[in-house]
Amino acid sequence: MKTVFVLNGPNLNLLGTREPQVYGSQTLDDVQVLCERACAANGFALEFRQTNHEGTLVDWLHEAGHLHAAGTLAGVILNAGAYTHTSVALHDAIKGTGITLIELHISNVHAREAFRHHSYISPVAKSVMAGFGVNGYALAIAGLAGMQ
Ligand code: DQA
């Protein structure tokens, strides 16, 4: 059974109370349950994590890279939060590991402030998903299943 890494960056631990008009009212725990169900339905194991620290995300991408090299990674779904718009380090980690990665945003970043329109992740992502709310996580897991 292959593993899906779902990695969440800064401030996503605040889901449920953070700008609910933008991100909805479901919590990160709710998102984890949703991902567990989607992974079970598609025959994947799930590794679900959140951190507020950029270097930790880099370390986790490297860890996913080891699974990729061993042939046991289905792919990574990354909501890098604000690091999407700032992080060359995440760009380099994705490129350097060769992992299959889906960039995910709960909101439609292109309909928001101009500083959210640029992504350092998109050029090294296999796919980009934005604006489906938290249901985007389940859609991304189904998308990974279609790529196997
Ligand atoms: C986000 C969009 C980012 O611009 C923002 O900084 C986030 C969340 C989203 O899921 O819509 O933290 O990635």
The three-state DSSP-derived secondary structure of 47-76 is EEEECCCHHHHHHHHHHHHHHHHHCCEEEE
Q: Per-residue pLDDT tens for 57-108? A: 999 999 999 999 999 999 999 999 999 999 999 999 999 999 999 999 999 9
Q: Which atom of ligand 1 is nearest to the CA of 9?
A: 12
Q: Which atom of ligand 1 is nearest to the CA of 108?
A: 11
Domains and CATH numbers, the chain: 3-52+72-91+98-147 (3.40.50.9100)
* Cα of 103 vs its chain's centroid, Å: 6
Q: From CA 93, how far away is CA 74, in angstroms rounded?
A: 17
- Annotated catalytic, 23? yes
Q: Which of 83, 91, 105, 137 is catalytic?
A: 105
Closest to 106 measured CA to CA, from 38, 42, 12, 5? 12
Q: Per-residue pLDDT tens for 100-128? A: 999 999 999 999 999 999 999 999 999 99
Reported for 56-61, long-range contacts at CB under 8 A and 24+ positions apart, including other chains, are 57/7, 57/9, 57/83, 57/87, 57/90, 57/93, 58/89, 58/90, 58/93, 60/5, 60/7, 61/7, 61/90, 61/93, 61/94, 61/97, 61/99
Q: Using CA positions, which residue lies closest to atom 12 of ligand 1? A: 81
With 0.85 as the threshold, say if the pTM is over it.
yes
In the prediction, which pLDDT does 11 show?
Answer: 98
* Cα of 107 vs its chain's centroid, Å: 13
DSSP class of residue 129? E
Q: CA torsion, points 112, 29, 31, 21, in degrees to nearest 10?
A: -30
